[in-house]
Amino acid sequence: MSSGTQAKDLVDDGEYKWGFVTDIESDVAPAGLSEDIIRFISAKKNEPEFMLEWRLKAFRAWLKMAAEEGEPDWAHVKFTPIDYQAISYYAAPKKKDGPKSLDEVDPELLATFEKLGIPLAERAILAGVAVDAVFDSVSVATTFKEKLAEVGVIFCSFSDAVQHHPELVRKYLGSVVPVADNFFAALNSAVFTDGSFCYIPPGVRCPMELSTYFRINTANTGQFERTLIVADEGAYVSYLEGCTAPKRDENQLHAAVVELVAHERAQIKYSTVQNWYPGDKEGRGGIYNFVTKRGKCAGAHSKISWTQVETGSSITWKYPSVILQGDDSVGEFYSVAVTNNHQQADTGTKMLHIGKNTSSTIVSKGISAGQGQNSYRGLVYVAPGAEGARNYSQCDSLLIGDKCGAHTFPYIDVRNPTSQVEHEASTSRIGEDQIFYCRQRGLTQEDAVSLIVNGFCKQVFRELPMEFAVEAQKLLSVTLEGAVG
């Protein structure tokens, strides 16, 4: 695949400038990637030595992967090669980057916000209007922080965590997704500039759903976001990522890494609604969303649940996984992935059963419309020592129209005879008869489609926090508008 050569060239053709020195006073790093740029990023962020070492280790691993294999090309997606030397890997957070007011925002985007019922003030933030020009969200964030501090929950930006809780960062960063895990994770580890950090102390049930929404400085986390969530013994946290409004971004490549660690009897529920810009109807533009998400059930009786609704991005490449290491630990994956127009999604999960009596559930709902291509890729691995492991997988595909596609790639690797693994799959098309039935009862074509699609996704939606589920439903209708007829 040609996309790999770009990364290789960078090492092979001698253009790679090791000796080049970046001006530390500069607010923006020059385009390109080198060890020097990484030192620059780390220095800019005033990081302790261990962070720089860690980044450099990741960078060297990435270089090696780039030289040997290039970008991973096994996924069922097609894209034009990414020029890693054309990207600028650091820009100091700026205050007034975006439009000054809503008047300057793309009317189509605003129309979508309206359909989703997003409050006026939030529309402005989402459209990139400078936050302080809109309303004083600092007060909201502050009350929120105080409440969390009372119970000892740490919830802050990754940069803050590196400054104020370096021991926690050092202990857990890369403990689930090692620097050399994969091409995009290595790249992220080398160059990430910010993200979220969350630590729930032993026995604490986090008093509210944590959401990046409340962290005002998320606007500039950029293309390489890093999230680390640690639930200590017996702790519980529900974390919401993203929001349902379409997000525009000039950065085409997004390579985030999310790591979750659940200690004994701890539970982490991680919910995502991903609605990055999918490109236009002809497939131009749109975000490449190459994410590595993994959780480790480190302690016995721990539980990690991933719930995702993926409607955006032109390409989604994402496999939230769970390492079931502790005995009796539980992993769950509930997913709705929608592809419309020219969108491509290759998503699924990995459940790695290591501990005894571990169990996992996978429910994947893929919806393809237009010329969208939707693939489910899942691995269920049962290690020799995983006595009594159980997995149940269900992968359903719904097709709207006849130019789209759905593909299922289940990989099952069972090495313990006492385990039980079940896999069910189905593919259906929205029937003309179903739509006619709904219309005969007075519902419009669009209402009929959204009704049927929501019915199809119900098993996943009911895993989402309430308001999120309502928003996800609306979002699905908006995404599939005009998909039929």
Partner 1 sequence: MLLRIHDLHAEIDGKPILRGIDLEVGAGEVHAVMGPNGSGKSTLAQLLAGREVYTVTRGEVTFDGKNLLEMPADLRAREGLFLSFQYPIELPGIANSYFLKAAVNAVRRHRGLSELDAVDFLVAARAKMKLVGLREDFLHRSVNEGFSGGEKKRNEIFQMAMLEPRLAILDETDSGLDVDALRTVAEGVNSLRSPDRAIVVITHYQRLLDYIVPDKTHVLAGGRIVRSGGAELAREVEERGYGWITGATESSDGMPVAAA
| Contact residues: partner 1, CB under 8 A | 431-434, 436-445, 447, 451-452, 454-459
Cβ distance to partner 1 smaller for residue 204 or 336 = 336
Output 155 or 456, the one with its CB closest to partner 1.
Answer: 456
Nearer to partner 1, 411 or 436 (CB): 436
Q: Which is nearer to partner 1, 206 or 430 (CB)?
A: 430
Minimum gap (Å) between residue 434 Cβ and partner 1? 5
Shortest reach from residue 55's CB to partner 1, in Å: 47
Q: Which is nearer to partner 1, 354 or 435 (CB)?
A: 435
CB contact set of 203 (below 8 Å; sequence gap of 6+): 232, 233, 234, 235
Shortest distance (Å) from residue 354 CB to partner 1: 34
Query: Residue 457 CB, nearest distance to partner 1 (Å)?
Result: 8
Considering beta carbons, is residue 106 or 424 the nearer one to partner 1? 424
Q: Six-digit token pair at 200? A: 């729930």
Closest distance to partner 1 from the beta carbon of 443 (Å): 6
Least distance to partner 1 from the beta carbon of 61, Å?
45
Beta carbon nearer to partner 1, 150 or 433? 433
Residue among 257, 370, 243 nearest 312 (CA): 243
Report whether 314 contacts 279 (CB < 8 A).
Answer: yes
Q: Residue 163: is it exposed, middle or buried by C-beta count within 10 angstroms (0-12/13-18/19+)?
A: middle
User: Quick one: how far is CA 272 from the chain centroid?
Assistant: 7
d(CA 50, CA 381): 33
Taking alpha carbons only, the member of 359, 365, 299, 292 closest to residue 331 is 359
Alpha helices in 364-431 (DSSP H): none
Q: What is the DSSP string of 83-126?
A: -TTSS---B---SS-S-SSGGGS-HHHHHHHHHHT--HHHHHHH
Structure tokens at 174: 């890369």
Least separation, in Å, of the C-beta of 440 and partner 1?
5
